[in-house]
Amino acid sequence: MVVDPDLQSVQEARQLVVKAAEAQKLLAQFSQEQIDAVVAAVAEAGRQHAEPLARLAVEETTYGMVADKVRKNTFAAEDVYRAIKGLKTVGIIREDRAKGVFEVAEPMGVVAAMIPCTNPTSTAIFKALISLKGCNTIVMSPHPAAVRCIQESARILSEAAVKAGAPEGSISCLSLPTMEATQELMRHRLTAVILATGSAGLVRAAYSSGKPAYGVGPGNVPAYIHSSANVRKAVADILAGKSFDNGTVCASEQTMVVDQAIADRVRAEAERQGGLFLAPQQAEAVARVLVLPNFRINPKLVGHSAQSIAQAAGISVPAHTRVLVAPIDGIGKQHPLSAEKLSPVLAFYVVNDCQGGMDACRRLLEFGGLGHTLAVHATDEHVIREFALRMPASRILINTPTTHGSVGDSANLEPSLSLGCGTWGGNITTDNISVMHLLNIKRVAYEVRPVNPGEAEETAVRTASAAPVMSASVPAAPGAAGAAVPDQAEIARVVDRFLARRGTAAPAPASKVCPAMSGDSSVGQPPVCPCVSSTAKTAARPAAENPPPAPRPVDFVSEDDVRQAINKNEKIYVTPRAIITPSARDLGNPREIFVMVK
């Protein structure tokens, strides 16, 4: 009997989702310590198999270089793991006593993960780690060009997870990747959320599935070199980013935008560092073999070396050539090399000044890279801030390769291999995707501004003898985990107000007579208590030293500020109006870095 492969693949997708849902019910009962042990084991398995998985990926897809894919696998297994291992993702994960709010994490459920062919094994490791850390299970849908290496990654990671105590089915992968199977995986009633990394069509399908989805857009990354830049470093950074894994990273530089005043210096430096500038006819030949008539990149040349691409275009280049550089004088379909190239081919565009640079970078982003990433190489802070304010990019990297900076390797961004592009790129977030995006967060909030003050005070009187759970004015008891001590003075004031409303006077405090009283009332001398006298004298004396100044709140907090506070074991004091970047909040809240002051 002949079995329809499409139907067979759909059935496999259904079975894997059902098994993953059953496993997730068990995983949801894990403690923080149990889930952390599983995640640690999976990370270690990814680290130990970084090289063989890299070799398998290059062998199967022909994309990229083994050494760089080893680095990407290691980044996922080590850097991403290091960023998430200390996060609280089970139970109560944050408490804000000042606001009277605490947060409880719940897993989303089954994660449907699309894995691309350009970064197959590293993406598999990354998505498995962030899914499991949130007590979610994951079913991977591999790109058809990278089935074996993604399946092998899933097998290795799954075995490590099960050995560490995770249920079977926590990590799985389709063996028959078809569009029908991928659609079934995304739309299945037991699928909770989608992590879509791939083509624009795949991302659109994810958003059209009816399920919550984190899709990431394509990158057409411009790198602007201002006249104030360190030219040698700027060129080195751009060539390093563009040549890494033969340009397969979506955040790698695509076009070098250079001020006219330094264009000759930049060109000479690029040639010195292994960039080969193409003549107009050569650039046209490269464009013909690299960009297909439907304006897609030729899959036979994705991630291939500069020499291979030149050879396909009938051009002979030196063996030391790292990147082919094509000068262009326009942006758009009439200039195919102004688009994303997924290879070590870089466009070169000259502008008059900073304003021209911003105009060119905006047009390049609009031509297939909206919301993704932009690089600015400059020492003029005014120029940097102008780009930051005006460019439609979620990540603006300063004086660093975009390939490395965007994922949190050379810059202090959240380590991630899935980069949101915001509404510019049709995505729901501008963040670097992390485990916090795969959690449902419940917020428990206590009343702090009574709607009915009388009833609120009566409730306070009735419950005064019980230990309050949280209060903005009640400090935590020493040694108690989250418990609090009643403020007796506050309780007395509440009782007094309550009795006054009922027309009942509060009992006067009983007077106490100190046996050491002195003075003779018969001759008009009031009794004097030596205790009070001594206290008054003590209070009258000036303090030996001034009290420490109150901490000064800040108005803006970046991720770098949080990292510095963590390293110094300090708190960051903020007001309710303070601006805290999402990455700073994700990093600081689990560690209780922020202290709210009025």
Asked if residue 243 and residue 184 are part of one domain, the reply reads no
Tally the domains of the chain.
Answer: 3
User: Rounded to an integer, what distance in angstroms lies between the CA atom of residue 365 and that of residue 374?
Assistant: 8
Q: Which residues contact 293 (CB under 8 A, 6 or more apart)?
A: none
Rounded mean pLDDT of 110-128? 97
Which domain, by its residues, includes 577?
A: 554-596
Q: Would you state the pLDDT for residue 547?
A: 58
Q: Would you state the pLDDT for residue 443?
A: 96
DSSP 291: B
Query: Which band of pLDDT confidence, cut at 50, 70 and 90, is reported for residue 501?
Result: low
Judged by DSSP in three states, 594 sits in strand
Q: What is the DSSP string of 116-159?
A: -SSSHHHHHHHHHHHHHHTT-EEEEEE-GGGHHHHHHHHHHHHH
Pairing mode of beta strands 221-225, 371-377: parallel
Q: Answer yes or no: is 69 within a domain.
A: yes
Q: Would you state the pLDDT for residue 485?
A: 46
Q: Which residues contact 347 (CB under 8 A, 6 or more apart)?
A: 254, 255, 256, 325, 326, 327, 328, 335, 337, 338
Asked if residue 55 and residue 193 are part of one domain, the reply reads yes
Asked if residue 209 and residue 227 are part of one domain, the reply reads no
* pLDDT, the chain, mean: 87
Asked if residue 465 has pLDDT above 60, the reply is no
User: Rounded to an integer, what distance in angstroms lies between the CA atom of residue 18 and that of residue 497?
Assistant: 59
Asked if residue 347 and residue 402 are part of one domain, the reply reads yes
User: Of 411, 446, 463, which residue constitutes the final position of a domain?
Assistant: 411
Q: Answer yes or no: is 126 within a domain.
A: yes
3-state helix, strand, coil in the chain (%, to 5): 45, 20, 40
Rg (CA), the chain: 31
Asked if residue 190 and residue 175 are part of one domain, the reply reads yes
Out of 173, 250, 361, 421, the active site residue is 250
**Domain CATH number, residue 12:** 3.40.605.10
Asked if residue 194 and residue 229 are part of one domain, the reply reads no
User: Of 367, 383, 411, which residue constitutes the final position of a domain?
Assistant: 411
Contact 248, 118 (CB under 8 A): yes
595: left (phi over 0), alpha (psi -120 to 50) or beta: beta
What is the amino acid identity at position 558? S
Which of 98-107, 182-191, 266-275, 449-458 is predicted least confidently? Answer: 449-458
Q: What is the DSSP string of 548-579?
A: PPPPPPEEEE-HHHHHHHHHHT--EEEEEEEE
pLDDT tens digit sequence for 330-381: 999 999 999 999 999 999 999 999 999 999 999 999 999 999 999 999 999 9
Q: Answer yes or no: is 467 within a domain.
A: no
Please return the burial class of 466, using the count of CB atoms within 10 Å of its CB with bins 0-12, 13-18 and 19+: exposed
User: Of 411, 438, 470, which residue constitutes the final position of a domain?
Assistant: 411
Query: Which band of pLDDT confidence, cut at 50, 70 and 90, is reported for residue 522?
Result: very low
Cα–Cα nearest to 269, from 282, 279, 281, 256: 256
Asked if residue 321 has pLDDT above 70, the reply is yes
Judged by DSSP in three states, 253 sits in strand
Asked if residue 191 and residue 240 are part of one domain, the reply reads no
DSSP 273: T
Q: Answer yes or no: is 273 within a domain.
A: yes
Q: Answer yes or no: is 50 within a domain.
A: yes
Structure tokens at 131: 């899914």
Contact 527, 518 (CB under 8 A): yes
Query: Which band of pLDDT confidence, cut at 50, 70 and 90, is reported for residue 468?
Result: very low
Asked if residue 343 and residue 203 are part of one domain, the reply reads no
Rounded mean pLDDT of 370-398? 97
Angle at 68 between CA 415 and CA 199, to 5 degrees: 65
**Is 250 an active-site residue?**
yes
List, in sequence order, the alpha helices (H) in 512-551: 530-540
What is the amino acid identity at position 234? A
Q: Answer yes or no: is 584 within a domain.
A: yes
What is the amino acid identity at position 515? P
Asked if residue 142 and residue 279 are part of one domain, the reply reads no
Q: Answer yes or no: is 287 within a domain.
A: yes
Q: What is the pTM of this model?
A: 0.77
Asked if residue 174 and residue 312 are part of one domain, the reply reads no
Instruction: State phi, psi for 257 to the nearest 5 degrees.
Output: -105, 120
Q: Which residues contact 64 (CB under 8 A, 6 or more apart)?
A: 57, 58, 118, 245, 246, 248, 303
pLDDT tens digit sequence for 5-63: 788 999 999 999 999 999 999 999 999 999 999 999 999 999 999 999 999 999 999 99
Contact 23, 137 (CB under 8 A): yes
Contact 188, 14 (CB under 8 A): yes
**Domain CATH number, residue 270:** 3.40.309.10
Asked if residue 348 and residue 234 are part of one domain, the reply reads yes
Cα–Cα nearest to 418, from 434, 403, 402, 401: 434
Asked if residue 150 and residue 10 are part of one domain, the reply reads yes
DSSP 435: G
Asked if residue 287 has pLDDT above 80, the reply is yes
Q: In what order do the strands lie in the sheet with 572-580?
A: 554-557, 572-580, 594-596
Which of 238-247, 250-259, 286-295, 545-554 is predicted least confidently? Answer: 545-554
Q: Answer yes or no: is 475 within a domain.
A: no
Cα–Cα nearest to 167, from 156, 176, 175, 158: 158
